[in-house]
Chain A
Amino acid sequence: KNQVEQSPQSLIILEGKNCTLQCNYTVSPFSNLRWYKQDTGRGPVSLTIMTFSENTKSNGRYTATLDADTKQSSLHITASQLSDSASYICVVSATMNRDDKIIFGKGTRLHILP
């Protein structure tokens, strides 16, 4: 069964600290993995996309990693800011018979305290 599991469910850290969010998946055949950021009351916005051959990708203070062998991804946030308070959603795509399916994780809710 195709699944995407994210941990932790929620996380509270102080402004300026680093944090890492985890995503484990059992999606097959793997096509790509995206991390989305969803601010409260708004729609998700894509942060990064990882394909099978990519191990690391950065977008400013956000760095995503992918281990296709263990089917794990992480999103590392450096020097957190108050604006990083949001939900972070891991989304994995599978392509089968020319039909793409995407599986959403339930997200990690991140709170940054001043």
Chain B
Amino acid sequence: NAGVTQTPKFRVLKTGQSMTLLCAQDMNHEYMYWYRQDPGMGLRLIHYSVGEGTTAKGEVPDGYNVSRLKKQNFLLGLESAAPSQTSVYFCASSYHTRAYEQYFGPGTRLTVT
């Protein structure tokens, strides 16, 4: 099992450009999450999904959109990137609720210039 995979691993964007980060899991988990991690801030939840076709806002959702068309995939979109979105993005999944163990992907390092 690959667990949780993320693509791409690195990306540099110019302000105003758009991009989509892809997360895939092969553990048949119901819940999936997108976090950002910034120095001194810890992990912050952007959006999450409790099942195929559902999405919900986390604590820092502005400027991002998500979609969960298939159970195994969770996409994070940036429509108009801003320098404040420079960060490391982690995808995670869990078998059931957020209180269950979360399995994290390797991360995507995004720089917006």
Chain A residues packing against B (C-beta within 8 Å): 31-32, 34, 41-46, 49, 89, 93, 95, 100-102, 104-107
Q: How far in angstroms is the closest Cβ of chain A from B92? A: 7
B90 and A102 contact, CB distance less than 8 A? no
Chain A contacts for B104, CB-based, 8 A = 43-45
Interface residues of B in 95-113 (CB under 8 A from A): 97-99, 101-102, 104-107
A-B contact pairs, 11 of them (CB 8 A): A34-B101, A42-B107, A43-B4, A43-B105, A43-B107, A46-B102, A100-B98, A102-B98, A104-B42, A104-B43, A107-B42
Chain A contacts for B44, CB-based, 8 A = 104
In the complex, the 8 A-B pairs of residues with the closest C-beta atoms, listed nearest first: A43-B104, A93-B99, A106-B42, A100-B98, A100-B99, A100-B97, A104-B43, A104-B42
Chain B contacts for A34, CB-based, 8 A = 101
The chain A residue with its CB closest to the CB of B6 is: A43
Size category of the binding interface on chain B: 10 to 19
Chain A contacts for B107, CB-based, 8 A = 41-43
The chain A residue with its CB closest to the CB of B4 is: A43
Instruction: Give the docked Cα–Cα distance between A102 and B99 (Å).
Output: 7
B98 and A43 contact, CB distance less than 8 A? no
B99 and A43 contact, CB distance less than 8 A? no
With beta carbons under 8 angstroms apart, the residue of B40, B97, B99, B102 that contacts A106 is B40
B41 within 8 A of A: yes
Q: Residue-by-residue, is B7-42 near A (CB-CB < 8 Å gives 1, otherwise 0)?
A: 000000000000000000000000000000000111
B42 and A49 contact, CB distance less than 8 A? no
B99 and A95 contact, CB distance less than 8 A? yes
